[in-house]
């Protein structure tokens, strides 16, 4: 939503902020800041950064809890949107020249607190080098970095847990892990064998049944509807019973 639309909504809703409880100088600064934010009507990266800077200044002038009241009264702005603006401004603090040229989605991705610093710096360095990185590629890089960070945390957590165990408990845990890994390997092997068998069965049916294959599939579907499975047919064939 543009700042103009937000201001209109605020006016219609009758939202007002009580400036009378503030010192005159701060009240004047906040009113001027609100006017400057409302004047930034284009959804450009530069405007996003400018709004974030104004919000940072305003937040620094207000007591705890009053900032949320102010952004709602003046702009009908959510706390989450305000945080997005301020994070974008913080990211641009020492990199404004390159950050101002980024696509908006990329800016928010890089400014998000969940984005690891290492990948953020790497992506910005590539932009600074003149490389054009599509938004989807940035998303993929951020996701991969988050997953790598999560795995590293899990590995470190497991190491600390292992170190805290008594040697006998550690050995028992290791054996459980090995059994679980063996069971996983066996399941994967069984799945691969079943997939191979299914492919071979399809080939045999196509070769042997030929034009009768559609009728076979139709009969199979009828059997399943009546809860009679293919293994029943195989059993009857092996026993020689009709």
CB 47 within 8 A of CB 40: yes
From residue 157, alpha-carbon distances to 17, 83, 143, 172, 240 in Å are: 48, 31, 21, 18, 60
State both tokens at 238.
């092996």
Pairwise CA distance, residues 37 & 85, whole Å: 11
- 95-114 pLDDT, tens digit each: 777 888 888 888 989 999 88
What residues contact 99, with CB distance under 8 A and at least 6 apart? 45, 49, 88, 91, 92, 107, 110, 124
Q: What are phi and psi of 58, to 5 degrees?
A: -65, -45
Pairwise CA distance, residues 207 & 213, whole Å: 9
Closest CA to 86 of 61, 51, 113, 118: 51
From residue 230, alpha-carbon distances to 17, 63, 242 in Å are: 74, 73, 14
pTM for the whole structure: 0.55
109-137 b/e with 16+ CB inside 10 Å = b? Answer: bbbbeebeeebbeebbeebeeeeeeeeee
- 14-54 pLDDT, tens digit each: 557 888 889 999 999 999 999 888 887 566 788 889 999 99
CB 10 within 8 A of CB 34: no
DSSP, res 73:
H
Digit-by-digit pLDDT tens for the chain (242 residues) are: 444 455 444 444 455 788 888 999 999 999 999 988 888 756 678 888 999 999 999 999 998 889 999 999 988 899 999 999 999 999 988 777 788 888 888 898 999 988 998 899 899 888 888 888 888 899 999 999 999 888 888 888 878 877 787 788 778 878 888 898 899 999 999 989 988 988 898 899 889 998 998 888 888 888 888 877 778 877 877 887 66
89: enclosing H helix or E strand: helix 79-92
DSSP, res 21:
G
Closest CA to 36 of 72, 87, 75: 75
């Amino acid at each position: 939503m543009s700042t103009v639309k937000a201001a209109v909504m605020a006016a219609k809703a009758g939202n007002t902020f009580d400036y009378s409880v503030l010192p005159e100088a701060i009240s004047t600064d906040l009113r001027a800041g609100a006017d400057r934010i409302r004047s930034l009507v284009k959804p450009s990266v530069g405007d996003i950064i400018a709004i974030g800077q104004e919000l940072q200044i305003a937040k620094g002038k207000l007591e705890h809890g009053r900032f949320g009241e102010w952004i709602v009264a003046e702009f009908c702005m959510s706390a989450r949107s305000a945080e997005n603006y301020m994070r974008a401004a913080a990211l641009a603090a020492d990199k404004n020249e390159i950050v101002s040229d980024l696509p908006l989605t990329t800016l928010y991705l890089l400014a998000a607190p969940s984005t690891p610093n290492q990948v953020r710096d790497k992506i910005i360095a590539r932009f600074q080098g003149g490389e054009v990185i599509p938004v989807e590629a940035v998303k993929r890089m951020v996701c991969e970095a988050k997953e790598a960070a999560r795995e590293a945390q899990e590995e470190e957590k497991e190491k600390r847990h292992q170190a805290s165990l008594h040697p006998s408990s550690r050995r028992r845990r290791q054996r459980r892990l090995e059994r679980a890994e063996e069971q996983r390997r066996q399941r994967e092997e069984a799945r691969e064998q079943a997939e191979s068998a299914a492919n071979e069965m399809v080939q045999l049916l196509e070769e042997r049944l030929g034009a009768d294959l559609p009728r076979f599939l139709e009969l199979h579907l009828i059997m399943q509807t009546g809860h009679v499975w293919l293994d029943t047919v195989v059993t009857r064939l092996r026993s020689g019973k009709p």
